[in-house]
Amino acid sequence: MIDKLVNNLESQIRLKDFKLNSLLEITRAINTNQKVNKIIELYSFIVREQLGYDRFVLFNHQNEWNCLLRVGYKGKVNNIDIESELSRFEEITMIQSSQSRLLSEFDVVVPVQHKGRALAYLLVKGVENDARHLSSDINYMSFVQTLTNIIVVAIENKRMAKLKVKQEAYKKELEVAKTMQKLLFPEQLPTNKRMDISAKYTPRHEVGGDYYDFIPLGDDEYIICIADVSGKGISAAMLMANFQATIRTLFEYQRFDMKTLMVELNKKVMSSAKGEKFITFFLAHYDANSRKLNYVNAGHNHPFITNGKTYEDLDQGCIGLGMMDELPFINVGEKKLSPNTTIVLYTDGVVELENEEEEFFGTDRLVKLVHNYYPLGMDDMNNLIFSKLDEWKGPLPLVDDTAIFSCRFF
């Protein structure tokens, strides 16, 4: 009798030592910031080699359920609906019999939960379901549940730490992109006896992919342009910032004819975007002395010129920049502007804005607005257009960046 008590006591001491040593090994691995695969390897070694269970599967929930560890089980695990198969298990449960292909391969389900939410499920084969072994095996399973909880929480903490680092990096990139985007747009646009220039822009997100510019070339010549990059977000904003810098640099150091300029810009976009994005672009050169406007429309929504009664699209040009290595054609348009002529440039976020009936705002409404309120100055005109766009979309959110660039030449 005494020998039996001594043996039981020694067995309990060995079990406690084993548990303590296992927990120390796992926590040491976690505290020394070992990689996830190393922590899982250690966990697997404890369950397989030290506890003697040679078939087990661990499912873990992060963004979705996935198989974190599989030992001795050759069945498929990727197409299993974990919620329907295992969500009913809230405590360690012996599997008596089951019609489930998965559960029929194992003896026990060990759930791991936190604040009522399932984090993981461990399925184990080799647990003896009889009076001689069940109590000790369940005791081991309780310990394995604790061990599993520790590594699952550690892995989740590592994932959250990585996510936080990524979020911080993204936040910094966003700040850089926002700063760069502010530099895209001219700080002041002229309003004088020769012209009245105004623009208004609302990005869909914190940074957008629209761009407009007004570049004086001396006292009597001017460049006006507007562009829209495919795709949105930081990458689009950075590409557009690079594009704007290229345009400014090209005009700063030398004059280009329209065709040569488009060829150079297409090369730059292809080099920067690697064929993954393209830019629609409208560029016009205006000579105030001759009143001639030369332009190229590279796949952009057609700006229009109007005297308040009739209008004409500016549609001559080429395909969007960055669509092909070489532009297959480039047509340069030319217009002579009468006094008090207005040019309205815009991005597709204006005309493709939908109302609750899924109807586009459209170019015709935009032209009609300009005609109806033609006496207004350009700043007031742009504010009016944006108020009408707000009325049009109602409670719906913006689906794209929205820009209006209005130029009246007296």
CA 379 to centroid of chain Cα atoms: 33
96-113 pLDDT, tens digit each: 878 888 888 898 999 998
Interatomic CA distance for residues 227 and 236, integer angstroms = 12
Given a cut of 70, whether residue 207 has pLDDT beyond it is no
CATH class of 176-409: alpha beta
Given a cut of 90, whether residue 378 has pLDDT beyond it is yes
Strand pairing partners for 159?
A: none
Given a cut of 60, whether residue 2 has pLDDT beyond it is no
Q: Among 3.20.20.70, 2.60.34.30, 3.30.450.40, 1.10.3720.10, name the CATH number for the domain at 2-158.
A: 3.30.450.40
Q: List, in sequence order, every beta strand (DSSP E) within 266-400.
A: 279-287, 292-298, 304-306, 311-313, 317-318, 333-336, 341-346
Q: For residue 314, which phi and psi values (nearest 5 degrees)?
A: -100, 90
- The two beta strands, 117-125 and 55-61, are antiparallel
111-146 pLDDT, tens digit each: 998 777 888 999 999 876 544 444 556 667 888 888
Interatomic CA distance for residues 400 and 236, integer angstroms = 13
**Which CA distances in Å does 269 have to 254, 276, 323?**
20, 10, 9
Given a cut of 50, whether residue 6 has pLDDT beyond it is no
Residue 180 banded pLDDT, cuts 50, 70, 90: low
Task: Encode burial over 25-45: b for 16+ CB neighbours within 10 A, e otherwise.
Answer: bbeebbeeebeeeebbebbee
Sign of CA dihedral 314, 318, 319, 321: negative
Helices 134-184, 36-45: crossing angle, 10 deg rounding: 180
pLDDT value at residue 131: 43
Q: What is the DSSP string of 217-267?
A: ETTTEEEEEEEEESS-SHHHHHHHHHHHHHHHHHHHH----HHHHHHHHHH
- DSSP 8-state symbol, 338: P
Q: What is the DSSP string of 70-87?
A: EES--S--TT--HHHHHT
pLDDT value at residue 160: 81
Give mean pLDDT, residues 351-359: 92
Domain ranges of the chain: 2-158, 176-409
Give mean pLDDT, residues 338-363: 94
Mean pLDDT of the chain: 84
Torsion of CA 254, 255, 256, 261, to 10 degrees: 60
Residue 200 banded pLDDT, cuts 50, 70, 90: very high
- DSSP 8-state symbol, 332: -
Residue listed under structure tokens 């039996």: 4
Q: What is the DSSP string of 274-307?
A: TTS--EEEEEEEEETTTTEEEEEEES----EEES
- DSSP 8-state symbol, 371: H
Residue 347 banded pLDDT, cuts 50, 70, 90: very high
Given a cut of 70, whether residue 393 has pLDDT beyond it is yes
Q: Which residues lie below 8 Å from residue 280, measured CB to CB, with a gap of 6+? A: 227, 228, 230, 298, 299, 300, 301, 320, 321
pLDDT value at residue 143: 84
- Residue 250, token pair as written in the block: 């090209």
Residue listed under structure tokens 């929930």: 61
Interatomic CA distance for residues 240 and 222, integer angstroms = 21
Radius of gyration over every alpha carbon of the chain, rounded to an integer in angstroms: 34
Q: Are 177 and 194 in contact (CB under 8 A)?
A: no
- The two beta strands, 317-318 and 279-287, are unpaired
Evaluate whether 2-158 and 176-409 have a shared fold.
no
305-336 pLDDT, tens digit each: 999 999 999 999 999 999 999 999 999 999 99
Interatomic CA distance for residues 392 and 186, integer angstroms = 28
- Higher pLDDT among residues 159 and 299, named by residue: 299
- The two beta strands, 317-318 and 292-298, are parallel
pLDDT value at residue 138: 64
Interatomic CA distance for residues 127 and 344, integer angstroms = 78
Helices 134-184, 234-253: crossing angle, 10 deg rounding: 20
In three-state secondary structure terms, 10 is: helix
pLDDT value at residue 181: 63
Kindly report whether the global pTM for this prediction surpasses the value 0.85: no
